[in-house]
A and B are shown apart, each in its own frame.
Chain A
Amino acid sequence: MELVRLDAHRWLIPRQGKMRVDGLIFADDNLMRDIRGDEAIKQVANVAQLPGIVGRSIGMPDIHWGYGFAIGGVAAFDPDRGGVVSPGGVGYDINCGVRLLRSSIRSRDLRHRLPKIMDRLFETIPAGVGKGYKKFVLKPEDIRSILNRGAAWAVENGFGYPTDLEHIEDQGTIPGSDPDQVSDRAIQRGRDQVGTVGSGNHFVEVGEVEEVYDEVAAARLGLEKGIVTVFIHSGSRGLGYQVCDDYLDVMLRAATRYGIDLPDKQLVCAPLDSPEAGRYLGAMRAAANFAFANRQMMGHRVREAFESVLGAEASELGMGLVYDVAHNIAKFERHKVEGRETTLCVHRKGATRAFPPGHPELGPAYKDIGQPVFIPGDMGRYSYVLLGTEGAYTETFGSTCHGAGRRMSRRQAKKQARTRNLRDEFEELGVQVRASSFSTVAEEIPEAYKDVAEVVDVVHRAGIGKKVARLKPLGVLKG
């Protein structure tokens, strides 16, 4: 695959073969060495072949080999030019995303009580493969309400504060959901999973602000050096996985029906104006709302855990919600293409919306500074808080990276971890780990990931994200 270096952080895949647009990958030399090691570049080029794609098929610096679409990819499709929607461009974990809570607690004041907090989190937030919430099995009417209302349902039912909703992408409710398009199997898989972490790379992480790069922005987000924070990374659990799985079949038939030539079957898709696309989008939004409710409920459990161990109300502990972002989703948004403002369906699979200051879709909380963006790293090192930029809006359809990106397969990671005492290693790093299975922890060892600092430096220097603060993990709850 021909790759042309444009500058220190941009690589062009010139339009070739059946590509309808160029590809563009953000990376420095070091990250590009990793990216070249798998099939991600080819996957960016494959996405560029899909009907109605506009601008460029984009790869973020955390990009890695996925199935069909690479993980860390962004692609926008114009409905007026035959553009498509593809479940593979959203991923199985619809609205997988990250929520950040802050506090007024100093990390030095928490250290001796952190083990108790981690134990409490482990008791109250189910984590692990397929783990559900046995004490909280949803009734069918509640599931339907969640699919329509997302985080708003959770707040109305006592899980969190009304002000939380102002600090969630789309206020925690994506309009246009259609629960009738969600299968019984999906409902069945999700009925006891709202408020649960799951497994794999999902986690709840207690951390501290280790470094502030932009004092003014950090202050606006309520972040200052040394305070305790909590990250929650999860998505729509079994319900979302099932929605994706169900619609791959629908889209496979649709792609044949509409004569769409696919370089990889996992890129199955349907024209945005087709009935199949309408059904998928209705179901996808429903699953996205489930994910918002899921993270909202976990946020509530986090506050409860701190309250019970520290003996103070969450409000007294300053436990406000900074923001909650999706990084696996497709959305209709207004963007400029060839000088003309138009509505596009933007797919972000392992990429975060990063709207600039003043964007009309941002709520009042952050309209003047831009959208907060969270980039979790690995369990042992650090994570970042960024803000959206004008550069992202003009160059990447208002998107930036979403994490460190894997550089080692799960099996390679496990092989490396086989003879090590991971519990001791994390203790030495100052990280308390609670996990339902250390097998998952072995797959998630820090060296299995790229250094997220490198990833974030690329997006910062390229102008598609602006560094605000770096967070360090103190305790991690894994599935």
Chain B
Amino acid sequence: MIGPEEIPVPGVLGLDHTADVGLEIFASDLPELFRRAALGAMWLVLERLPSTEGESHLQDQETDTRVVELAVEELDALFRSWLRTVLYWEDADGFVVVDAELMLLHTALSEAKDGQGFGLTGHAMGRVDQGPRVREIKGVTLHGLEVGPKEEGWWGRVIFDV
């Protein structure tokens, strides 16, 4: 194993795992943590920044916006649900998230055991990018999945199956 690796997304480190890959994310608040995690996941798939590189694949492509509305019982499950959504858009439609404006809420959930949960609302901005991918992310695992406060801000960790 080798140590965490800087990737060109602020506040995001690549993690080493024998067969898989992971991310460690740091941010001052939770919406920013979620935004950075999505950009980190896109980096793992593309190993390039869609907003600044691979422009030949993006000609005439305008940035599109997709609505985000997620609600689950636990914070780490919400984090996973967000990353699953972003990766599904990428895999099914080639839609690569380049930015996001998100808001986190405590919300009432009819299916939650105590009726409470976490919600994520907002918009994800991105473009359909038909350029090359370097990695297929099969799924967002629960293994080592964590989101929590750290020092002055927030920290998250996720391992992807590749």
A-side residues, CB < 8 A to B, are: 37-38, 64-68, 71, 88, 91-93, 128-130, 185, 188-189, 198-200, 238, 241-242, 244-245, 248-249, 252, 256, 264-266, 268, 406-412, 415, 436-437, 439-440, 479
A188 contact set on B, CB distance < 8 A: 92
A67 contact set on B, CB distance < 8 A: 20, 141-144, 159, 161
Find A200's partner among B17, B139, B159, B162 (CB 8 Å cutoff): B162
User: Which candidate, B56-64, B120-128, B130-138, is the interface stretch facing chain A?
Assistant: B130-138
B77 at the A interface (CB under 8 A): yes
Which has the most chain A C-beta neighbours within 10 Å: B21, B88, B136? B136
Besides A92-B138, A264-B143, 16 new A-B residue pairs in contact (Cβ under 8 A), listed by A number: A67-B141, A71-B19, A129-B134, A130-B91, A188-B92, A189-B91, A199-B135, A199-B136, A200-B135, A245-B139, A248-B139, A248-B142, A409-B16, A411-B5, A412-B1, A437-B133
Which has the most chain A C-beta neighbours within 10 Å: B20, B140, B144? B20
Find A241's partner among B81, B90, B138 (CB 8 Å cutoff): B138
- What are the 5 tightest A-B residue pairs by CB atom distance, in nearest-first order? A67-B143, A129-B133, A265-B142, A92-B138, A266-B143
Interface residues of B in 84-128 (CB under 8 A from A): 84, 88, 90-92, 113
Q: Is A411 within 8 A of B2, CB to CB?
A: yes
How many angstroms between the C-alpha atoms of A26 and B47 in the bound complex? 37
B52 contact set on A, CB distance < 8 A: none
How many angstroms between the C-alpha atoms of A479 and B162 in the bound complex? 13
Q: Is B2 within 8 A of A244, CB to CB?
A: no
Which has the most chain A C-beta neighbours within 10 Å: B1, B18, B84, B144? B18
How many angstroms between the C-alpha atoms of A68 and B143 in the bound complex? 6
Q: Is A411 within 8 A of B14, CB to CB?
A: yes
Residues of B within 8 A of A (CB-CB), count: 36
6 contacts between A and B (CB under 8 A): A67-B20, A68-B141, A200-B135, A241-B161, A412-B2, A439-B134
Q: Is B21 within 8 A of A411, CB to CB?
A: yes
B142 contact set on A, CB distance < 8 A: 67-68, 88, 248, 252, 264-266, 268
| Contact A129-B136, Cβ < 8 Å, known A67-B143, A268-B142, A411-B14 | yes
Q: Is A265 within 8 A of B16, CB to CB?
A: no
Q: Is A266 within 8 A of B136, CB to CB?
A: no
A268 contact set on B, CB distance < 8 A: 142
| Contact A198-B18, Cβ < 8 Å, known A67-B143, A265-B143 | no
| Contact A249-B47, Cβ < 8 Å, known A71-B19, A409-B1, A411-B16 | no
CB nearest to B142 among chain A residues = A265
Q: Is B91 within 8 A of A409, CB to CB?
A: no
Q: Is B143 within 8 A of A410, CB to CB?
A: no
Q: Is A238 within 8 A of B91, CB to CB?
A: yes
B38 contact set on A, CB distance < 8 A: none
Which has the most chain B C-beta neighbours within 10 Å: A38, A185, A410? A410
CB nearest to A411 among chain B residues = B16
Q: Is A266 within 8 A of B141, CB to CB?
A: yes
Q: Is A406 within 8 A of B136, CB to CB?
A: no
How many angstroms between the C-alpha atoms of A437 and B48 in the bound complex? 14
How many angstroms between the C-alpha atoms of A440 and B17 in the bound complex? 16
Which has the most chain A C-beta neighbours within 10 Å: B1, B134, B138? B138
A128 contact set on B, CB distance < 8 A: 133
| Contact A93-B92, Cβ < 8 Å, known A64-B19, A410-B21 | no
B88 contact set on A, CB distance < 8 A: 185, 189, 242
Closest approach, in angstroms, between the C-beta of B61 and any C-beta of chain A?
A: 18
